[in-house]
Structure 1
């Protein structure tokens, strides 16, 4: 009996009779587990821990960052890019008040909240980086729409007040910097689309058509405005000569040859600063409004009076022609020669000295091709006139006469007959004689004529010296 009772006791479930006791567990471990789970969940969010902040606080944090920092954030993740884009929509980086300070009102210099124009351009370079990075996944059409929106805000005609002096206005310079920053690395076909979109948005091709289709100098203000717009938006901010040649080709290639030469002169020909108006500002002082007029007939009637003026007249034209000559994808040597021929005869024939000076600045390659072309076509009188002008330009600007001798040697090499060579040399000396006689006949007490005679005689002397040295080289060495 006792054994049976003991057996029953052993088989009993004692837990059923004892009070239930909660298993011992640390609260710290439980909290830690929850934190780890929550941390893993947060890390899987697009913005990580930054995503736990409310949207208003996120924007408040972004407000303390620079434009450059914002542009770097846009390439970290898609979520961050969307956040920066949303911030820029509600808090535009390009404020309207800042744009207004880029324009010039009542002939005054633009009042910028920065120290110099260079800093303004650097600011728009950073804005361009922000736009480039934040729209890198967008279609080209959408990216061009953003560019046109910025252009609309920055154009002088859309400013809050009338921008009355486009020469001092730097708004288009800044947009050009932004444009080339955004387009850096784009394919040529995409850049062509960008050019077409901007031209269509601004209707500039219609304006250019009116300019090239009318008499030069008919509308001075319109010519000046189009010159500044095309240069500041498409050309002046180009980072390399190759890029400048590409954009210059975009401007020129859609027009016939005669209009290409006209446009090239419009963009890079000499200009004259003149006072067009006087006004009294708020302090009672009279200020001048300056307008730049393209000197269409200057090179047809006058020659530069100094080396500085020569650089102003021909420097940019020569650099543009050299850039086009080196851009072999779209321009052949025959194209460049044709453009120079048309350029130096528009609107009237240039003076021979001006043609010679332009060719010298264009470099040996362009000059040789130009002169050889004239020699092959039998244009001896033109060759003689340019050769004498080469001598005058070299004397005036202290260039070496070796340049002229080398050009003459290149010309002679392409002349097959001895008779043609003799005719060429005779024409050169006859041209010197005619020019000296003409200067003597029109000579008066004015110093200008005296200097012309001096340079002409000096050119003849220096040229003759070099020919004598070449003729008697064996006897003189």
Structure 2
């Protein structure tokens, strides 16, 4: 009997010790090779639930940066975004439809810009149609009609936040892809049907739909634009599919008519005029900036098309007051105003040209715009120069003087100190006086200048 066999502390043979070392070394080699084969290193050994738990402690900016570090990390972050994007990363859909302070609105817009950047990077390898599905689902959750808490659309910033998100996601896309985005969102929300119901019927008949269309286009596509070229692209997408008459009505709906009491004020330009420069900016500032963009920065619009658009809009839904037409032309700038008035002068519409020129002078006087009178005289000089016959030129200038006389007599006839017409009479007389001074300076320019 070998008693050593039963001894607990028997010394192992040298060959056994070497086998153990070799086995340990082999296992270590296998472990190192397995670690090297893991794209995320030791992080790959963690359960998926624990990985998502760790991602919850990161900011949206950190997650966005992780998506561009590797394909595996991008897939992980995308899986987290789709399945467990909650807790500190929860998207506050309900809060967007409540009244927020200016600071809170700025924070929300910044937050959705960061979400858009995360979405853009995490879905960069997706096909466009797959990315559009995600965008449409995002819009569905934020749309006002799907939320019970949205009571005042005018103060709701949900669509504006979505617009910020959308413009961040599609930044750098080519025009054809952006066109697909526009078509997809409009089809998803049935916007073309709503627009047709608005522009093909009497203004104000569907006031709720008009406000909805205004908010949809402005807050999603137009207001978040960062550059003039972007705004030119998107306003063209909105207007171009429709005939000229519908284009003018849609442009008025978006930018010219004020939205008060949940309704578009369609007859405002036909009934009231701005009393000062600040109010004039509120009336014409937005629409004139859009017209300038189309006139100067869009390759899809010719200058004649823009002028036709203005001509059609100033009779939407009724003829505007001449003073409002003059205010719009002054806001649009000298090149556009000159081209519009020159086209009328060439066609012999001297009465209309004279009426608008007189109103341009009146607007300059009422708004204390001294530089505006010089601008009017530059326009008048160019308008007269396009008229070939000298007799017609003289007729046009005489017609302007007659228009001033008619305005003054009409105002004097209805003067009543109680309703403020005396101030209107003063403005008309002053406008004619300033016009006469400018004409005198031009007539005797060579004598007056030393």
Give the TM-score normalised by the residue count of structure 1. 0.86
Match of 2:292 in 1: 322
Match of 1:174 in 2: 161
Match of 2:363 in 1: 393
Whether 1:91 aligns to 2:61 is no
Question: What pairs up with 1:259-274 in 2 under 5 angstroms?
Answer: 259-271=246-258, 273=260
- The 1:22/1:372 distance shift into structure 2, 3 A limit, reads same
Whether 1:347 aligns to 2:317 is yes
Whether 1:412 aligns to 2:384 is yes
Whether 1:211 aligns to 2:198 is yes
Deviation at 1:235, TM superposition (A): 0.7
Q: Which moved more, 1:445-454 or 1:94-103?
A: 94-103
- Give me the whole-angstrom Cα distance separating, in 2, the residues matched to 1:337 and 1:115: 40
1:195 aligned residue (177, 182, 185): 182
- Give me the whole-angstrom Cα distance separating, in 2, the residues matched to 1:49 and 1:206: 55
Whether 1:81 aligns to 2:74 is yes
- Give me the whole-angstrom Cα distance separating, in 2, the residues matched to 1:396 and 1:137: 59
2:42 aligned residue (49, 60, 84): 49
- Give me the whole-angstrom Cα distance separating, in 2, the residues matched to 1:269 and 1:118: 26
Whether 1:132 aligns to 2:128 is no
Residues 214-235 of structure 1 show CA distances to partners (whole Å, capped at 9, x for unaligned) of: 1112222221222112110111
- Give me the whole-angstrom Cα distance separating, in 2, the residues matched to 1:247 and 1:21: 82
Question: What pairs up with 1:448-459 in 2 under 5 angstroms?
Answer: 448-459=420-431
Question: What pairs up with 1:203-352 in 2 under 5 angstroms?
Answer: 203-271=190-258, 273=260, 291-352=261-322
1:441 aligned residue (403, 408, 413): 413
- The 1:29/1:312 distance shift into structure 2, 3 A limit, reads farther
Instruction: Check conservation: 2:233, 2:298, Cα contact below 8 A.
Output: no
- The 1:128/1:70 distance shift into structure 2, 3 A limit, reads same
Match of 1:276 in 2: none
Match of 1:431 in 2: 403
Match of 2:9 in 1: none
Contiguous gaps of at least 5 residues in structure 1:
1-19, 274-290
Instruction: Check conservation: 2:269, 2:321, Cα contact below 8 A.
Output: yes
Match of 2:332 in 1: 362
Deviation at 1:476, TM superposition (A): 2.2
- Give me the whole-angstrom Cα distance separating, in 1, the residues matched to 2:18 and 2:276: 97
Residues 233-278 of structure 1 show CA distances to partners (whole Å, capped at 9, x for unaligned) of: 11110111110111111110000000000000000013253xxxxx
Deviation at 1:455, TM superposition (A): 0.9
- Give me the whole-angstrom Cα distance separating, in 2, the residues matched to 1:73 and 1:157: 35
Instruction: Check conservation: 1:270, 1:314, Cα contact below 8 A.
Output: no
Contiguous gaps of at least 5 residues in structure 2:
1-12
Deviation at 1:447, TM superposition (A): 4.6
Deviation at 1:322, TM superposition (A): 0.8
Deviation at 1:446, TM superposition (A): 2.8
Whether 1:466 aligns to 2:438 is yes
- Give me the whole-angstrom Cα distance separating, in 2, the residues matched to 1:267 and 1:366: 21
- Give me the whole-angstrom Cα distance separating, in 2, the residues matched to 1:329 and 1:151: 30
- The 1:71/1:202 distance shift into structure 2, 3 A limit, reads same
> Helix, strand or coil for the counterpart of 2:42?
helix
Whether 1:102 aligns to 2:70 is no
> Helix, strand or coil for the counterpart of 2:154?
coil
Deviation at 1:332, TM superposition (A): 0.3
1:63 aligned residue (21, 41, 56): 56
